[in-house]
Structure 1
Amino acid sequence: MTETLSPADELAALKPATWPNESAEYRKARTAQLDLLDEQRRHIQRVAARRRALPPGGEVPQDYRFEGADGSVTLSRMFGDHDTLIIYCMMYGPERKAGCPMCSAMLDAWDGEARHIQKRAALAVVAGSPIARILDYARDRGWTGLQFYSDPSGDFWADYNHDRDADDPAYVVFRRDPDGTLRHFYSAEGGTEIADPGQDPHNAPDMNPLWVLRDTTPEGRGAEWYPRLDD
């Protein structure tokens, strides 16, 4: 049975907030925006529900081997006690002098959330540089909650980030079936080819709280502003 939801505009008008010295024009526009925000919340939930209902993804072609802080580890071992594994491919290949500023800004935020995320799913960050170099960079950034790995063969990167030598980001989720089979569950897809005019391609909702917060400001996220490592 499908639950009937109240129209968003009716919900928005139930208990409008008021702020000091606001005009009637501001309140009318703000209440109208609340209508859109309620629809946005519902749409996010619809997208998430459709994602959870995806058919089984492809079986992982091999038990990829990575290098971590404690030595060699396979993809299956990275699940730990969980049946879900989230992997973020950070742009920090051997040719880079430092990690990608955009990746680093996001991981600055994720590092604090990692202990909460890892209560429900395993979380790993993979990069193309040697593991010692990755760990040095993590220490320089002050990251203590995230788990870092190197993909020395490039096999994982080639299969799940399009190109063995690419220095591109990727967000990949894997699922372990009850029989132990590892499957690809979800990856962020799309790039510049799906970006709207004047906008950078980004996930929706955005996984970097930097942009979520900036979207609530008068200036917005800006078309030409990016984080820098020395800020």
Structure 2
Amino acid sequence: MSLSFPGESPEYRAARDSLLEREVALRRELEAIAEQRRDLPPGGLVPEDYVLQSDNGDVRLSDLFSPGNDTLVVYHYMFPRDPTDDRPGPASGESAQLTLQQGPCPSCTALLDQLDGAMEHFSPHADFAVVARAPIEHVLTFAAERGWRRLRLFSCAGTTFSRDYHGEETDGSPRPMLNVFHRGDDGIRHFWGSELLYEPAEPGQDPRHVGTIEPVWNLFDLTPHGRGPDWDEQLSYCHE
């Protein structure tokens, strides 16, 4: 089936149909990758029931699984941010009192802004948790200032959780890893991690390790100018 739109030229339609063939192939490949991911053999058992901090005190990793859910997705929030990140920090509120390097990563924050609204649809089927190395008080204060309502937030300060699951470099620098865990009869196992983060990116591209769940970047890809070479996520934007 070939569509057409008002006023388009034959050259446009030919080019668009050629692109559509590649889009169909990409859809097929994404489905095949998802199936291959689901068919992974059991991952490694989680070595300990890590103790995290929440708004209600200490909780264990196993406590993050809701009754009836056997899957937990964990995003390692770069809070504190990467030491080389010099983008502006929070401009107001208590979080503005943090030093730049104590504060949150703008890119991670942009992703979580987008995922906060998705949680109402996702959480009945699987659990999602945001884990940062910052003190839980810093995380909760910034979340309130940001207006997040549905994300579950935790601190892994004082544990090796982020380092064990590659949300932290050996030198202590944070990394925005996404990990998925599955709980079965024999315990909690690691199912999948966004290891693409650690693979060399193509020239001029970022790792795109969680690219399929980033609405803003995917929207840019649909526009004439694309992602653009000079734009990056910020905690706030000035519109003239």
User: After TM superposition, is the score higher than 0.5?
Assistant: yes
Query: Percent sequence identity over matched residues?
Result: 40
Following TM superposition, by how much is the alpha carbon of 1:32 offset from its aligned partner in structure 2, in angstroms? 1.2
Following TM superposition, by how much is the alpha carbon of 1:134 offset from its aligned partner in structure 2, in angstroms? 0.2
Following TM superposition, by how much is the alpha carbon of 1:223 offset from its aligned partner in structure 2, in angstroms? 2.7
Paired letter, 1:83: D
- Tell me the residue number matched to 1:43: 29
Q: Are residues 220 and 106 of structure 1, via their aligned partners in 2, closer, same or farther at CA, if it must alter by over 3 Å?
A: same
| Cα distance in 1 between the residues matched to 2:193 and 2:202 | 20
Secondary structure of 1:56's aligned partner: coil
- Tell me the residue number matched to 2:174: 167
1:162-182 deviation per Cα after TM superposition (whole angstroms, max 9, x unaligned): 4473221110000001x1510
1:51-101 deviation per Cα after TM superposition (whole angstroms, max 9, x unaligned): 011110000000001001111110011011210000000111286343111
Does 2:75 correspond to 1:88?
yes
Does 2:188 correspond to 1:201?
no
Q: Which has the higher contact order (CA 8 A, sep 6+)?
A: 2
- Residue 189 (structure 1) aligned to one of 190, 195, 201: 195
- Residue 69 (structure 1) aligned to one of 50, 55, 60: 55
- The TM-score, its normalising length taken from structure 2, stands at 0.85
Does 2:85 correspond to 1:79?
no
Paired positions, count: 216
Secondary structure of 2:196's aligned partner: coil
Q: Note the residue ranges of structure 1 that are not aligned, 5 or more in a row.
A: 1-14
Checking the alignment, whether the CA contact within 8 Å between 1:44 and 1:205 is kept in structure 2 is: no
Paired letter, 2:187: T
Paired letter, 1:100: C
Q: Note the residue ranges of structure 2 that are not aligned, 5 or more in a row.
A: 82-98
| Cα-Cα RMSD | 1.6
| Cα distance in 2 between the residues matched to 1:157 and 1:219 | 36
Following TM superposition, by how much is the alpha carbon of 1:193 offset from its aligned partner in structure 2, in angstroms? 4.4
| Cα distance in 2 between the residues matched to 1:38 and 1:193 | 26
Following TM superposition, by how much is the alpha carbon of 1:143 offset from its aligned partner in structure 2, in angstroms? 0.6
Checking the alignment, whether the CA contact within 8 Å between 1:66 and 1:72 is kept in structure 2 is: yes
